[in-house]
Each structure stands twice: as structure tokens, then as C-alpha cells.
Amino acid sequence: MTITIYHNPDCGTSRNTLALIRNSGTEPEIIEYLKQPPGKEKLQALIAAMGLPARELLRKKGTPYEELGLDDGKWTDDELINFMVAHPLLMNRPVVVTAMGTKLCRPSEAVLDILPTPQIGEFTKEDGEKVIDAEGNRVHHK
């Protein structure tokens, strides 16, 4: 099965997640969701696969979240999904789909839980935090 990442290249978390996927020896299908929005049906399917309420996929920072009043609990999942379809920037990222599951990968190392193949080498995030050691093992931080 192909690994798919709904990616924003301007986002450090998304870039780190993509790099971790590649560090497992796999080149994923990359969907830059701001250029190719998933559409309502696909977004509904992704949210269902993650087992999250739609609100959990909303991004607040750097989006029209506040001006649209999305912090109000009156909005249904369907309405929130409609907002994400109308304003793809509201969709938090990255979302990764593998044979092992679908996940919002924040922090980026959350992707390790759904990658079917192990890491093949050392990995350090852009901010300098080491995530994978030279043997390909996850480094646990306290």
C-alpha cells in the first residue's frame, strides 16, 4: 500500500514527518492539500479513519479560525468540515495514511506509530531534536 501524506511544505512539522517517512525507505504520495484540497467526501473519510471529531483537525494558528467564530461549540462536525473545504488552511497537518492507520502527525514522530517499515538511519528534526539514533531506534525524550 502507498503511504500518503497531506502535506504543507511551509510547515516544519509536516517537513519533519515527510522526512521520517522517507527515513523508513519509502517515498510517499505527497498531496499538497493547499494546492489540491481533499474535498468534503475525502475529508470526511480521513476524519472517520482517524476516529476524531472534526474539531480535532481544525488548525487555529495562522488561519481564519477566530474570524469565523469556530471556537463556538454550536458548529456540527459537518459544518466544521464545510469550513475546512472552503478554507483548506483550517485543516491541521500533516495527515498521514498508511496500511496501519490514518493519523494527524503532531508531533511529527507520531508517524512512527503507523509506518509499516522501520527507520533505516539516524534522524534529527529541523529544530535539532534527535528522534532516531544511528541504529534506527526511537530516542525517547523525558
Residues 81 and 98 in one domain: no
Residues 48 and 78 in one domain: yes
- Global pTM reads 0.95
Residues 101 and 82 in one domain: no
Residues 100 and 85 in one domain: no
Residue 38: φ, ψ to 5°: -70, -20
Q: At CA 12, angle to CA 10 and CA 13, rounded to 5?
A: 120
CATH number of the domain where residue 7 is located: 3.40.30.10
Of 61, 76, 92, at which residue does a domain stop? 92
Residues 59 and 22 in one domain: no
Residues 84 and 99 in one domain: no
Contact 131, 124 (CB under 8 A): yes
Encoded amino acid at 79, one letter: E
Sign of CA dihedral 30, 36, 37, 39: negative
Predicted confidence at residue 140, as pLDDT, reads 81
Residues 82 and 46 in one domain: yes
How far is residue 47 from each of residues 2, 23, 59, 91, 142, measured CA to CA in Å? 19, 26, 14, 11, 30
Residues 114 and 127 in one domain: yes
Catalytic residues, by residue number, are: 11
Residue 59 is part of which domain span? 42-92
pLDDT in tens, 113-129: 999 999 999 999 999 99
The count of structural domains within the chain is: 2
Residues 138 and 98 in one domain: yes
pLDDT in tens, 47-98: 999 999 999 999 999 999 999 999 999 999 999 999 999 999 999 999 999 9
Residues 48 and 87 in one domain: yes
Contact 103, 95 (CB under 8 A): yes
Considering only CA atoms, which of 135, 134, 105, 101 is closest in space to residue 116?
101
